[in-house]
Structure 1
Amino acid sequence: MRQISVPFRRRLVPAAGAVLLAAVLAACSSSPKALQPAPLLPFTQQVPATQVWKVQLPPTHALLLPVAHSGQLYVASADGSVSALDGQTGRSVWRHEVGQPLSAGVGTDGQSVAVVTRDNDLVVLAEGRPRWRARLNARVFTPPLVAGKRVFVLSGERSVTAFDADTGAQLWHQAARNTDQLVLQQAGVLTAVGNTLVAGIAGRLVGLNPNTGAPRWEVPVASPRGVNEIERLVDLVAHVGRTDDQLCVRAFQSALGCVDAARGSLQWTRSVNGSVGVDADDDHVYGAESNGRVQAWRRTSGDVAWSSDILLHRGLTAPLAAGRSTVWGDATGHLHFLSREDGTLLNRLSTDGSPLVSAPLLVDNTLVAVTRNGGVYAWRPE
């Protein structure tokens, strides 16, 4: 079995199989000195935030992304537990043990809650109780999308399948046509814009008819380059920056682009080296390069508006754009508030010292962060 060195928390799998390739937690060519995290700089607090609750859950895993919906937070643990928490108080609404380890995090419309096991079972719950399960043909790393009384699944082999959310009946299956040998074991892109299902297929955004699976449009964000399988990886990764019908997405270690999902047209793309998702507002798209350099691109043109090196090598998550700030989690359990306007440090919050598993979330007016060690922390920014 070949060994492949990939960045921290990234894994690769064969596109057509479920056998994991060995991975090394290493940053491929940088020296230890160069990878030292940037020190935590002093700052003047300009965006106060008060911690309002904390909950300890079983240890989570970086691939199991939490989700917020209708005032509740849904968190899945790699060991198979799924929890719903009240976003205002942290109170447990329900908890269910699936009985199998999970490979993909939670998707929900507030009624049906969907997760996927490592044995390729799609499991759908209602009010914390099992409703149905269905066997899938391939590994899944992207949380299912639950919308319009359907459950949509993007598999690791790049196929998309739709199920009836109430009965579990398979409605349609759009087979993969990509022949790449490797895919990223990391959550990809699966969302809805209006009446179009949008999926990240390799380096492309593809719009599908949610009723039939028929393609409506296809937009390339990045094209494979390089001479080996690793260099040619261009999978689109979560989190997605959305403003109205515009989706801005990152292609792993290669590009950033914005697409008009109503028309199925590319607005712009830029060569950018990064491995986690982005967020967007009316003015900018925000993301971090692989070395932790934070950048803001103008949403209409893709030109760089500002950049900041104060969080270099801190293992950043995707950002959350909220209020005056962009909020970034890091590998030491900190949340950093940077100004949307120029990247100035506005505040810093601490958790339990373990990495944040995803971008911070907003549950109504509550800011929530979930750590690798299972800590769920909530604050109310002033």
Structure 2
Amino acid sequence: MTRLRVRGRTAVWRWLAVSAALVLGACSSVEKPKPTPLEPLSARIAGKQVWRASMGKPLHGMTVAVLGDRFMLASEDGRITSLDIGTGAVRSQVSVGAALSAGVGSDGRHAAVVTQNNELVVIDGQREIWRTRLNSRVVTAPLVAGERVFVQAVDRSVLAFDVFDGRRLWTVGRSGEALSLAQPGVLLAYRNTLLVGMGARLLALDPLTGAVRADSTFASPRGTNEVERLADLVGPAARSGEVVCARAFQVAVTCLNAERNAVLWSRPQGGFEGLAIDPEFVAGADATDRISVWRRASGDVAWTSDRLRYRGLTAPLSVGSTLVFGDSEGWLHVFSHDRGEPLLRLSTDGSAIVAPLVRSGLTMLAVTRSGNVFAFRPE
């Protein structure tokens, strides 16, 4: 199986340039647009940095786990670190002795990562309890839940292991797709169901057996070649109550009622980063970083913004009545979630925000390409 590896915006723009050159019959590539200059902003709400830590080189496609009073994250060199949410102090740190390809997943006791040698490694506290070799590369953080470890490979196949002894319990494969996307996919739990993105579909699996309970189409791939028809669901997905929303790469944003396995609405938007959701709105940015916010119930557009186009935006984060994006210059941009009014701009270290923003209570975390971790809190 051939795999399309898309490593952030540089690779996407390279792919767009190649596509344009083929269409136009030209030899030159398309120059990446310059980031939109930032407008002067007078802060309308207060917020401040409360601590800063260093984690080493971050993973491509890394994620941060939120576990009670800790943030847990893994660096490319194989270190898994837990940081105190209040102070940033290191609560624990363990190394698996190998470079990693996927971020960390944890249920609070067990943590799981995948190495660049395709080994799944499971930690109990600060002690490795088992590791096993996989047949495919992994870039999506494992999910640890219900005494199982769930792994999604680059080809979007899914494997389940016993968290205590590493026994493989079941495998669900993907077939019929010539290309897959080397970008973190959709893998999350909803009550007693495992939700998995497989191509442009969201499967609801029985976590005990791997049996398919429901199969929902999130997008209809279109185009004249395999690259244009690529429509894998990309993470992070967004969930609020029974509503789960996800992006199909370069095609659409779709929301599903996970209780009834019924698609609520789908809207065309060509992008490749994850989404945010709250009780009223769903938000995301397209491939040009044009922000769109839809009403959760209907999918109607609430507002759009071109203020941050081509600034390399992260998946957004919903925080109370605000919506926050990170960008490729290390800024955090805070908007009102109902009108899109700019409220606050926070700085980090000038390097790109490389992980989806996360929060615990009022503490928001950002990780930069320079390997620094910043915690912010409103005042």
TM-score range, shorter chain: over 0.9
1:107 and 1:59 map into 2 onto residues whose CA distance is 18
| Match for residue 245 of structure 1 among 242, 245, 248 | 242
Partner of 2:328: 331
1:182-197 equivalences under 5 Å are 182-197=179-194
Give CA-to-partner distance per residue, 1:82-136, whole Å, 9 cap, x none: 2111111111112222222111111111111111111111111121221211211
Q: Report whether the alignment pairs 1:73 with 2:71.
A: yes
Q: Is it true that 1:346 corresponds to 2:343 in the alignment? A: yes
Letter in 2 for 1:350: S
Superposition map of 1:1-382 within 5 A: 8-9=8-9, 24=14, 29=20, 32=31, 35-176=33-174, 178-382=175-379
Contact 2:231/2:250, CA 8 A, preserved across alignment: yes
Secondary structure of the residue aligned to 1:35 is coil
Cα distance, 1:9–1:131 mapped onto 2, change above 3 Å: farther
Which amino acid in 1 is paired with 2:108? G
Equivalent AA in structure 2 for residue 140 of structure 1: V
Would the aligned equivalents of 1:80 and 1:101 in 2 still touch at CA under 8 Å? yes
SS in structure 2 at match of 1:171 = strand
Query: CA contact under 8 A between 1:8 and 1:25: conserved in structure 2?
Result: no
- 1:238 CA displacement: 0.8
The CA deviation at 1:152 is: 0.7
CA drift at 1:24: 4.5
SS in 1 for 2:38: coil
Given residue 134 of structure 1, which amino acid in structure 2 is its aligned partner?
A: T
Q: Deviations over 1:203-249 (max 9, x none)?
A: 00000001110000000001222122211110101111211111010
- 3-state SS, counterpart of residue 180 of structure 2: strand
In structure 2, the residue corresponding to 1:183 is in which secondary structure? Answer: coil
Aligned partners of 1:26, 1:373: CA distance in 2, in Å? 27
Residue of structure 2 equivalent to 1:16: none
Q: Deviation at 1:31?
A: 5.1
Output the CA distance in 1 between the equivalents of 2:113 and 2:159.
14
Q: Deviations over 1:54-82 (max 9, x none)?
A: 00121113312122111211111122222
Q: TM-score, normalised by structure 2?
A: 0.92
Q: Which residue of 2 aligns with 1:18?
A: none
Which of the two has greater helix per residue? Answer: 2
Percent of aligned positions that are identical: 44
Paired with 1:71 and 1:26, the residues of 2 have a C-alpha distance of 42
- Contact 2:33 2:310 (8 Å CA) reproduced: yes
Pair 1:312–1:7, CA change in 2 (3 A): farther
CA contact (8 A) 2:317 2:358 kept: yes
Q: Distance in 2 between matches of 1:26 and 1:98?
A: 37
Q: CA deviation at 1:259?
A: 0.7
> What 5-or-longer segments of structure 2 have no aligned partner?
21-28
Decide whether aligned partners of structure 1 residues 146 and 233 sit closer, same or farther in structure 2, where only a CA change above 3 A counts.
same
Say if 2:102 and 2:139, in contact at 8 Å, map to a contact too: yes
> 1:182 is paired with a residue of what secondary structure?
coil
Q: Which runs of 5+ in 1 are unaligned?
A: 13-22
Distance between the aligned counterparts of 1:4 and 1:324, measured in 2?
A: 37
Instruction: Write the letter of the residue equivalent to 2:264.
Output: Q
Contact 1:7 1:26 in 2 (8 A): no
Match of 1:19 in 2: none
The AA in structure 1 aligned to 2:114 is V
**Secondary structure of residue in 2 paired with 1:88:** coil
How many residues get paired?
369
Task: Identify the range of structure 1 (225-234 vs 244-253) with the bigger mean alpha-carbon deviation.
Answer: 225-234
Instruction: Provide, for residues 344-379 of structure 1, a one-character-per-residue CA deviation record: whole Å limited to 9, x for no partner.
Output: 110011111111112211123311101111100011
Question: Contact 1:9 / 1:25 at 8 angstroms: preserved in 2?
Answer: no
